[in-house]
Amino acid sequence: MIEQFFRPATLSQATELKNRFQDSAVWLAGGSKLNALLTKTSRNIAISLSLLPLKTIEWQDGILRIGATVTLEALRESPLIPRALYDALGFVYSRHIRNQATIGGEIAACQREHALLPVLLVLDAQVQLANSNDVISLESYLAKPDERLITHLVLQDPFRRCATRTIRETADGWSVVTAAVALTGNNEQRIAVDGVGCAISRLSQIEAKQLSGEALEKAVSQAVSPKADLTGSEEYKRYITGILVSDLLTDCRQMGEK
């Protein structure tokens, strides 16, 4: 339960507060996760990000930089983002949630499913952290997350050929699987899936093999580790994930033919 609330005006003030209160404090942006029943915080100090200059979406030297407190709906309405990211933002079905949730919060939150992360991973997204001029890959951050404040999402090549799709029983229900595929300028594959294993993951070993068609379907089906639940059996999830990834790769290749 939140008992103390701070609203710093600068990044240095925000990080100073976090350093002072350590694990008793939590970053608060839109609050869609911290106030929700399944992800409600147990910490008693909130450090609000509302006054920090992290709400911009801009191009800098051919690079797309997105402030961490940009809401999902504001990002979806921006003409600067690639189509695949626009599609992924629509996987968050509720406009109310999209108006509240922020891109930084979606990256940092520990939640059951990650609708946006597959497309960000295949776009080789990076994150910039407070008190650092360096950026690290999103994949590295997810492998070892910490409580440093994410200030920006960085896309060096946002308009590479990319496609994403989610499979779910109902529009607002739990997803069976969410996947994304991209092709770099050198036709290197990027494949990421969520919902069919312990965590969101890049299928790097499969990417390196440059498979397609039935061979890709089979490799993906064998690589994922789904668990049977109300959304489907293990066998079904393996099968549908392989089909989905293969279809997305076909979509990406067709983009290059237009």
Judgement on whether residues 137 and 190 belong to the same structural domain of the protein: no
> From CA 5, how far away is CA 177, in angstroms rounded?
37
Judgement on whether residues 63 and 87 belong to the same structural domain of the protein: yes
Q: Predicted confidence band at 68 (pLDDT cuts at 50, 70, 90)?
A: very high
Region 120-132 average pLDDT: 94
Judgement on whether residues 199 and 250 belong to the same structural domain of the protein: yes
Domain boundary among 155, 188, 206: 155
Domain boundary among 93, 127, 155: 155
Residue 254 has pLDDT above 70, yes or no: yes
Judgement on whether residues 89 and 136 belong to the same structural domain of the protein: yes
pLDDT digits (tens, 9 = 90+) for 145-169: 888 899 999 999 999 999 999 999 8
Task: Tell me the pTM.
Answer: 0.94
> From CA 53, how far away is CA 108, in angstroms rounded?
18
Region 31-36 average pLDDT: 76
Q: Which domain holds residue 84?
A: 57-155
Q: What is the CATH number of the domain that holds 204?
A: 3.30.390.50
Judgement on whether residues 174 and 215 belong to the same structural domain of the protein: yes
Residue 36 has pLDDT above 90, yes or no: no
Judgement on whether residues 144 and 69 belong to the same structural domain of the protein: yes
Judgement on whether residues 230 and 171 belong to the same structural domain of the protein: yes
> From CA 41, how far away is CA 34, in angstroms rounded?
5
Q: What per-residue confidence (pLDDT) applies to 124? A: 98
Amino acid code (one letter) for 78? S
Burial 91-101 (b: 16+ CB within 10 A, else e): bbeeeebbebb
Q: How many domains does the chain have?
A: 3
Neighbours of 57 (CB within 10 A): 18
Domain boundary among 155, 187, 211: 155
Judgement on whether residues 68 and 135 belong to the same structural domain of the protein: yes
Q: What is the CATH number of the domain that holds 41?
A: 3.30.43
